[in-house]
Amino acid sequence: MRHFAFLDEQQREQLFHVQPAEFDRSSDPALLAVALGATLYAPADRPHLCDDILRRAALGVRSMVVCLEDAVADADVETAQAHAVAELRRLRAEHETEAPLLFVRVRRAGQIPEIVAGLGEHAGILSGFVLPKFTEDSGAYLDAVAEARAATGLRLMAMPVIESPEVVHRETRADALTAIARLLDKHRDDVLAVRIGATDLCSAFGIRRDRELTIYDVLPVASAIADIVNVLGRTDGSGFVITGPVWEYFSPSERMFRPLLRQTPFVEHDARALRQELVTRDVDGLIRELVLDRASGLTGKTVIHPSHVSAVHALSVVSHEEWSDASDVLGTSARGGVAASGYGNKMNESKPHTSWALRTVRRAEAFGVSAPGVSFIDLLAAQAAAA
């Protein structure tokens, strides 16, 4: 699979200086963690789950989570699990090559061997499991993933979700995150990425962020995200890829504040209608949050609506300017020093910018590098036209 593969070859040649790389379930986990992009959640009890997965994959979704936790009513979990297993078996048997990276979000560790056993010879359709409410006491989840991996020979990966009150409460946060880091380090080969459950973190304070605010405007949760990155997202070899929290809004309603998207870039790219569509669908707030996710060290994002995918992927593409800077930094990192950027608008300092440059090159491998003069607006417009 490849990001933006649904665009025709001529479009990709015009939009990209470096094309996104191909990847599959067997690719380097370091690449897969970044290539997750917009990870779309779907309730496990969706009547036509297999068909829905195929439809979304055809429109550019490269990772999905079949959710048995919050998305399914308590009384329906057993039925939903059996339904999801049947749909995933059909997907593997009939459409394996068309499927994205697939994960199941479970409620309890015991569901992991149950689902793998239920899938049987079709278990290879899974890339792993999402582990909810993850704390230092969640080792049973990781053990279950490791055991399933050993029993089947499949490379099943875990994505723990940091969303418990212990993490968001200030008096317990440092100890909770340190303990989680120790646990994850013991299972490093089984962990693909760490996810953040901002909705649950907000619930610890009875907060639901407004559609005109980003999660970074909700200060109690923003401070927790900062500490999660501080402890679990370091580039010294101890950290993991950490994905951005979900954006909840997708339908129009009355607005109090002005839209967050400036008009000028859209006018310059002859995309006024696209801007209006993004504002109408509340995607302007999502775009603002995506920029802040990147600035905070997060990669990719959990999404609950297909309309969010194109924005996440457009903003994941490495700009030609970023690529130029990263290439300059890595080209001089061995000898050190400072030099003006090729774009003539900043200083590139090789040693402190090296970790950023390495992350940028990895993102470029997954999402490509835009051609000079191509912006995220052009990428959004191309995706909208192809949808």
In angstroms, the CA 142 to CA 186 distance is 10
Q: Does the pLDDT of residue 270 top 70, yes or no?
A: no
**In angstroms, what CA-CA distances link 250 with 212, 222, 284, 290, 300?**
12, 22, 11, 15, 18
3 state SS of 66: strand
For 124-128, 255-259, 324-328, 344-348, which range has the lowest pLDDT when averaged over its residues?
Answer: 255-259
What torsion do the CA atoms of 175, 177, 182, 186 make, to the nearest 10 degrees?
150
Region 164-183: mean pLDDT is 98
> 195-231 burial string, b = 16+ CB within 10 Å, else e?
bbbbbbbbebeeeebebbebbbebeebbebbebbbeb
pLDDT of residue 257: 45
For 72-86, 114-128, 262-276, which range has the lowest pLDDT when averaged over its residues?
Answer: 262-276
Q: Is 234 exposed, middle or buried (0-12, 13-18, 19+ CB in 10 A)?
A: middle
pLDDT of residue 255: 42
Give the H/E segment covering residue 34: helix 29-35
In angstroms, the CA 20 to CA 36 distance is 13
User: From the CB of residue 291, how many other CB atoms can be counted at a distance below 10 Å?
Assistant: 15
3 state SS of 20: coil
Which domains does the chain carry?
1-20+318-387 (no CATH), 24-316 (3.20.20.60)
208 in Cβ contact with 202 (< 8 Å): yes
**In angstroms, what CA-CA distances link 157 with 26, 28, 44, 241, 262?**
11, 12, 19, 13, 40
Report the predicted TM-score, pTM, of the whole model to 2 decimal places: 0.91
15 in Cβ contact with 386 (< 8 Å): no
Chain centroid to Cα 171, Å, comes to 29
Residue type, 23: F
In angstroms, the CA 141 to CA 156 distance is 12
- Binding-site positions for Mg(2+) read 200
pLDDT range class, residue 258, cuts 50, 70, 90 = very low
In angstroms, the CA 310 to CA 4 distance is 10
Average model confidence (pLDDT) across the chain: 92
Convert the pLDDT of each residue in 291-327 to its tens digit: 999 999 999 999 999 989 999 999 999 999 999 999 9
Q: Are strands 38-43 and 195-196 parallel, antiparallel or unpaired?
A: unpaired
Q: Where on the phi/psi map is residue 368: left (φ > 0), alpha (ψ -120 to 50), or beta?
A: left
> Which residue has 């936790």 as its token pair?
69
For 93-107, 178-192, 200-214, 320-334, which range has the lowest pLDDT when averaged over its residues?
Answer: 320-334
- Binding-site positions read 200
Q: Are strands 244-247 and 128-131 parallel, antiparallel or unpaired?
A: unpaired
Long-range contacts formed by 332-336: CB under 8 A, 24+ apart: 333/357
Q: Is 385 exposed, middle or buried (0-12, 13-18, 19+ CB in 10 A)?
A: exposed
